[in-house]
Amino acid sequence: MTIPAGSLLTAQDLRKTYGPTTALDGAEFSIHPGEVVAVMGPSGSGKSTLLHCIAGIVMPDSGSITYNGREVTAMSDAERSALRRSEFGFVFQFGQLVPELTCVENVALPLRLSGSSRKEAERTALAWMERLEVDDLRKKRPGEVSGGQGQRVAVARSLVTNPRVVFADEPTGALDSFNGERVMELLTDAARSANAAVVLVTHEARVAAYSDREIVVRDGRSRDMERVV
Partner 1 sequence: MSIGHTLLGLLESGPRHGYDLKRAFDEKFGHDRPLHYGQVYSTMSRLLKNGLVEVDGIEAGGGPERKRYAITEAGITDVERWLATPEKPEPYLQSTLYTKVVLALLTHRDAGDILDTQRSEHLRSMRILTDRKRKGDLADQLICDHALFHLEADLRWLELTAARLDKLRAAVTR
Chain residues binding partner 1 by CB under 8 A are 40, 42, 185, 203, 205-206, 208-212, 214, 216, 218, 223, 225, 228-229
Output 105 or 214, the one with its CB closest to partner 1.
214
Minimum distance, C-beta of residue 208 to partner 1, in the bound complex (Å) = 6
Output 74 or 205, the one with its CB closest to partner 1.
205
Output 43 or 76, the one with its CB closest to partner 1.
43
Q: Compute CA 43 distance to the chain's CA centroid, rounded to the nearest angstrom.
A: 18
How far lies 71's CA from each of 11, 16, 57, 129, in Å?
Answer: 10, 17, 14, 34
Task: Give the separation between CA 3 and CA 196, rounded to whole angstroms.
Answer: 19
Q: Are 137 and 103 in contact (CB under 8 A)?
A: yes
Minimum distance, C-beta of residue 136 to partner 1, in the bound complex (Å) = 24
Minimum distance, C-beta of residue 209 to partner 1, in the bound complex (Å) = 4
- Name the CA dihedral angle for 225, 189, 159, 71, rounded to a multiple of 10 degrees: 30
Task: Give the separation between CA 40 and CA 185, rounded to whole angstroms.
Answer: 19
Output 78 or 229, the one with its CB closest to partner 1.
229
Minimum distance, C-beta of residue 217 to partner 1, in the bound complex (Å) = 11
Output 118 or 206, the one with its CB closest to partner 1.
206
- Name the CA dihedral angle for 192, 197, 199, 203, rounded to a multiple of 10 degrees: 20
Side chain identity, residue 130: E
Rg of the chain taking only CA atoms, in angstroms: 17
Task: Give the separation between CA 215 and CA 28, rounded to whole angstroms.
Answer: 9
Minimum distance, C-beta of residue 36 to partner 1, in the bound complex (Å) = 10
Minimum distance, C-beta of residue 227 to partner 1, in the bound complex (Å) = 11
Output 145 or 216, the one with its CB closest to partner 1.
216
